[in-house]
Structure formats: C-alpha cells, structure tokens
Structure 1
Amino acid sequence: MTDTTAVRVTAPGSPAATARLLAEAAHSVDAPDLVLAVSRNGIRTVHTGGSAEPGPVPRELMAYELGSASKPYAGLLLARLVAQGRVRYADRAADLLAPGFPVHPAVRRITLRHLLTHTSGLPGLPADFYPQAVPRWSTDPYGGYPADRVVRAFLRARPRHRPGTRWHYSNFAVSVLGHTLAAATGTPWEVLLHQQVLAPLGLDATRVRPGPEGAEAVGHRRDGTPVPALDTGGFTAAGAVRATPLDLLTFLEAHLAARPGGPDPRDPTLDAALTDVSRPLLRRGLRHAHTHTLTWFHHPSPYGPVLFHAGATLGQQAFLGFRPDSGLAVAATATRRVHRADTFVAAAYGLLTETP
C-alpha cells in the first residue's frame, strides 16, 4: 500500500496552516482516493491522497458519487423555482404530480416543503422497495426500482405521521419531490437541474449520470473490492449527483457569496434561492437542539453556525459544508465506505467546525 499526497493552492497567499490542517485530517482517513478541499474567502487549498497509486486524472478532477449530499442541489432547485414563481413551497405534491388522482387524505396534505424538509410523514424508502433490493443490496439496490414505481408508491402511501409534525429522514420523500417538480414544469429532472442550478453556477463537471471512463472515481468496499457505479433508479433527486471536488467548492462558494455583504450572483432569483436555503427553518430532537434549513443541517460552532450535508453510496463518501460568518467552505470525497469505525465524516466536519 502507498500513501500518496499532494497539496495544491489555487490562489496566492493561502496560509500554510490550512495545508497542514488538511494533511493532519487526511492521516486519519483510510481510503484508496481521498480529497480534502477548503475555500476561505475564495482562496482554495486542496489536499489529495489515499492508499492507491494516483491515476492519470488528478483526484480533484475526478467525479465522485455524492449520495445523500445530492439533496442540497434538489433544495436549491426547488428554492429557485419558488423564486421564479413557478411553484410554491405550500403547493401540494399530489395535486402537481397526479391531479384528481384519489389519494389518502394525509398524502393530499403533503407539500413540497414537507418533502424537502423530511417532515412529510413518509418512510425512508417505500415498503415494497426492500423485497427487490435485499438480494442485491451490496451491488445494485436501487436500479430495479424505477421512477414510475416511486410515484405509484407515493400515491398509495399511508404516512406514518401527520405531515409537518415530525422529522424523519426520507430518501423516498426527496425523490418524490424530484418527480413532482419535473411534472410541474414539464421538464425532466436532469434537464431541470442543469438549467436551473448547474449551468448558472458554472458546474460543468457536475452531472447525474456517469461520465467518460477514467473521469469517474471508483468506489471500494471495506476489503478493497471495487464497487460498480451507482444506479439510483427512481431515486435520482435524493442521491444521483456526481461532482468533482473543485465543482463542490464552487457550489459551496455560491452559498457564501449570497450571504449579507457577499457579491451578488448573476441572477436575482438565484440570489434569493441561495439565501432561502441557508435560512434556519425548523428544529427537532431533544429540547429542539437540532436546527435545519430547507436542505442543510445547521449546527453551532466556536466560529459561528455551520451548514453541512454528508452522503454515501455503496463505495464512496462525500461531505459538503460551509460557515457563512467566516467565508469558509469544506468539500471532501473518498472512495471507500466504512460503516462504523469510519473517520471520514468526523475529519471533514472537524475541518469545518474547528478551523479558525
């Protein structure tokens, strides 16, 4: 095994202390490929490494599967459509998805906001998802459950709780949101995301389908076995985004630019959407200690609030976070997923919350 590392600073004047912090954090993570990237007021420092020999494409230029860290992209898309007046947060999903179709009264009350904020009352995944997924849980659990099944499962659902009353993390709900927005706009989800989010932010290396061979990171199981590229089936909005670490920083920097005093984005509806998704919206947990925005987890830190989201696929992990008060953004990717004794998220979260 080898431990190859490289540090690249993409603007003059970046403090060497940031590079040292990234190197220290990287030592705690065991993965074939690892990228830790920080932007501080637009000055970027990128650390790449891992136990595998580097390939012909630099690690920071490979596209990594984001898994659930795709959800902030779905959130920004919804917020922008709301800013454009094309939909409202309070619109009922069933009315947009299947007007006039008979559904359970609780399903009828589920709004776009409920779907995005995990307060719809829907389970994490549809009940009939598991019989087809379990036999191929370690290879392709989602690919056999297409979009039409996700929609049908929603329309016949019986929510566990009254919408808006409880928080329960749900890939099912965010996937339904994606199909609902596609129906409401008459535009496929992939095209809609590109038009409204990826293209305006200049995210040319971000996509929802695998790109050219050699440009995609390859995930690994704990024993080092390669994992096939993820097929999300009908759950595209909840976990299909793939992006390079540099594009992840661009995405996060756009949120920082929308903060008070930051430079204006190119479009006022995008400015409004970036601000909207960063605003604290709901609380949950013991004594309501956990705060969320429309799409980000929102925690305190010694240097001000942090907003973040992590994600994992069968063999990859990603972490996205930013600290609005100090202009700090952290993007991290790895090509191994270790379920319990894993240090990846802790290392990335530490960079976000403990970096002065």
Structure 2
Amino acid sequence: MNGEHRTRWPDVAAVDESPAGARRAVPGDEDRVRERLAAAVDAVDAPDAVFALSRNGHRVVHSGGHRTGPTAREELRYEIGSASKTFTGLLLAELIQRGALTGNEPAAACLAPGRATHTGGITLAHLITHTSGLPALPRDFFPRALPAWRTQPYARYPAERVVEAFLRARPRHRSGSRWHYSDFGVAVLGHALAAATGASWEDLVGAHVLGPLALHDTALRAGSPDTDAVGYTKDAWTLVPAFDPGGFQAAGAVRAAPHDLLTFLEAHLDPAGSPLSAALEAVRVPVLRRGLGHRHTHTLTWFRHPTHGGPMYFHGGATLGQQAFLGFRPDTGTALAAVCTRRFRSGDPFVATAYALLADDEI
C-alpha cells in the first residue's frame, strides 16, 4: 500500500464526522430535487433506473426507462453487485460487537484448522479491508469462467473452489502492507465467517443485518420476474440472466429494492437509533489511507471522500446487466441509492451521475 494502513480496525477510535465550522445544509426545495433526480434518470438512459434520495429522513424517488412490466420500478429488487460488501462488512462489525469474533482471526485457521498454508497470516480484517495480498480473483478463475463469460462466469466457481484456491494461494504482498481491491478476499471472508460461527453467510446476514434493520425487501438469492429487475447489456436491449455469484456470495449476492437500500443507508446516518448502533458506528471509522498524499481513505466497508462540510461514504457495484451506487453524507443527512438495469463498460454515466448528486452540497 502506498501510504499509511491500519488493519486492527476494531481498536480504532471514532472520529468527529462534522468538523468545526462545517456548514450543515438545509433540505433543498423538493421540486428542484425531483428535477435533479429526473435528469439523473434521463442521463443513465437504461431500461430501468431508480434514483432514491433521503434527506433527514424525507425521501424523494424518481424512476424511468423504456421497459414495461407489471411491477413498478421502485418496487423491484436490483442486483447491487460489489455494494454487497457493505452488508458483509457490517455483519463482521456486528459479530465483533457481540464478542463472537475479534476480526483478527486467521481466515485459514477458520477454514482448515491445522493445515499449513501461505495464507496463514491473513486475518478476517485483512480480507474485508482489501489488504490481504490476494488478487482480485483467483488465478484459475478466468480459464474456468471463460466458457460462460457473457452469461454466468461466477457460477462456474463454487464455494469449495473459492476456499481451496485461498488455501493454496501465495499472496502477492505481506498481509496488511498494501491495499488491492479483491472480490476473492471478501468471498473468502464469507466462507470464513460461516466456518467460524457454524452458520451460513446467508443465515448470518439474515439474522444480524436484514432482520435487525427490517430489510424485508432484500434477498440473497434470485427471485421471480415479478420481484426482481432484469438486467441488460450496454446496448440496453439485450437481456442477461439473473446473476449467480457462485462461491462469491459475500462479495456480490445482495439484491434489494430502492426503499430497502435507503433504509440501510439511513441506519448509517443515524446509528444511535438502530439496534446495530455500535457496528454502524464502527463501519464509519477510517481504517486506512492510500495513494498520493494519502488522498484515498477507506473505512471497514466504505470508500470515504472529503466534501466541504464533511466526509461522504459510498460504494458502487455491478453485475453483468445491472449497476448500483450507495452513499451517504452525515454532514447533510443525505443518503442516495441509485440502481439501473444496464451495464456500462466504458464512458459510464451512471457512477459519475450518482457520485455528483451525493457530492452536491445543495441537493
């Protein structure tokens, strides 16, 4: 990692989210907010797009697109891809708060006690903070995935293969020394949590995140066309099948309706009012910095960028045919959940549009 890093994040002290002198923005005019959201939906130009914004608990939602169907767009569940990692990170934080884990357990010891590996120094905290030294995907992922590259590449790499690839891996760097984004690492974390607790990742997320936060319209498996949004390729007309994460559930299996995503984000904005208050506070704490001038700051689960009034937290995600952007700003009391059923691969207007909305002090 180019810069400071700290992976013993359970011991990091909380920080002031609203620096002295920061201006607390007042809620904007609702008509103007709706105009901005409508412009964002138009800019994305997807079969389905929903931009849902919460400001101090008041929600404004706008949707659009050319797909027709029996279910309103804002009521469908959308694949959020890598933004699922924020659910897995919150799960780990909650298990630590409950005393079930410390975060410093070696993942290999959880998965294969007594087995000699080159990954023995990689802890659960290293996996969630992308400091494990593991690559983005296992070395043999691409040869196995290539025959189904445009349909279900991850489905060809099941859970047992993810675990075995981890136990056989030779990390590129010493664990805790560098940041490198890794779907592989977070997928391993999900299996390590299951092994350490004796419950599946799905059951753990349901019991410790979805249930306590009352996320009743969030699922960890594909549903029916009446409940789930259908994805499209870049051309916005070619359908792609529902995403199957294979053994990468913890890194990308969550699908949720926009209002549930806002509920999830609002809990981060007001941890004191949540049954997961301590865990929600923990995932807002900066744990590492990287890059030139230490400009890139990360918490346990979120990318953290500065604004004029204070930090903004965000995470994006994508599957073969859908994209999502989740973010919140404590200084303005704003949360944004944006989803669309179109996968952009270059010149992506979706992420840029969502990021700009959240960064805008006046929205």
Per the normalisation by structure 2, the TM-score is 0.90
Runs of 4+ in 1 over 4 A off after TM superposition: none
Q: In 2, Cα distance between the equivalents of 1:139 and 1:338?
A: 16
2:332–2:361 contact (8 Å) kept in structure 1: no
Q: Which residue of 2 aligns with 1:298?
A: 304
1:141 aligns with 2:147: no
* 5+ residue gaps, structure 1: 1-12
Partner AA of 2:50 in structure 1: V
Q: Which residue of 1 aligns with 2:352?
A: 346
Q: In 2, Cα distance between the equivalents of 1:52 and 1:145?
A: 32
Instruction: Note the alpha carbon deviations across 1:143-190, whole angstroms, 9 max, x for none.
Output: 011100000001111000000010000000000000000011100111
1:289 aligns with 2:304: no
1:246 aligns with 2:259: yes
* 5+ residue gaps, structure 2: 1-27
Q: In 2, Cα distance between the equivalents of 1:175 and 1:243?
A: 19
* Paired residue secondary structure (1:108): coil
Q: Please point out which of 102, 107, 119 is paired with 2:116.
A: 102
Q: Which residue of 1 aligns with 2:15?
A: none
RCO higher in 1 or 2 (8 Å CA, sep ≥ 6)? 2
Q: In 2, Cα distance between the equivalents of 1:121 and 1:327?
A: 36
Q: Which residue of 1 aligns with 2:224?
A: 212
Partner AA of 1:21 in structure 2: R
* Paired residue secondary structure (1:88): coil
Q: Which residue of 2 aligns with 1:264?
A: 273
Instruction: Note the alpha carbon deviations across 1:57-81, whole angstroms, 9 max, x for none.
Output: 1101100001001000000000000
Q: Which residue of 1 aligns with 2:41?
A: 26
1:303–1:353 contact (8 Å) kept in structure 2: no
1:37 aligns with 2:49: no
Deviation at 1:14, TM superposition (A): 6.8
Q: In 2, Cα distance between the equivalents of 1:228 and 1:45?
A: 30
Q: In 2, Cα distance between the equivalents of 1:207 and 1:348?
A: 23
Instruction: Note the alpha carbon deviations across 1:212-234, whole angstroms, 9 max, x for none.
Output: 33111000012210000011000
2:47–2:65 contact (8 Å) kept in structure 1: yes
1:1-356 residue pairs with structure 2 within 5 A?
15-53=30-68, 55-104=69-118, 107-223=119-235, 224-258=237-271, 263-265=272-274, 267=275, 270-356=276-362
Q: In 1, Cα distance between the equivalents of 2:165 and 2:42?
A: 44
1:126–1:153 contact (8 Å) kept in structure 2: yes
Instruction: Note the alpha carbon deviations across 1:100-119, whole angstroms, 9 max, x for none.
Output: 01111xx1111111000000
Per the normalisation by structure 1, the TM-score is 0.92
Deviation at 1:307, TM superposition (A): 0.2
Partner AA of 2:334 in structure 1: L
Deviation at 1:355, TM superposition (A): 4.1
Identity of aligned residues (%): 60
1:120–1:159 contact (8 Å) kept in structure 2: yes
Q: In 1, Cα distance between the equivalents of 2:359 and 2:130?
A: 25
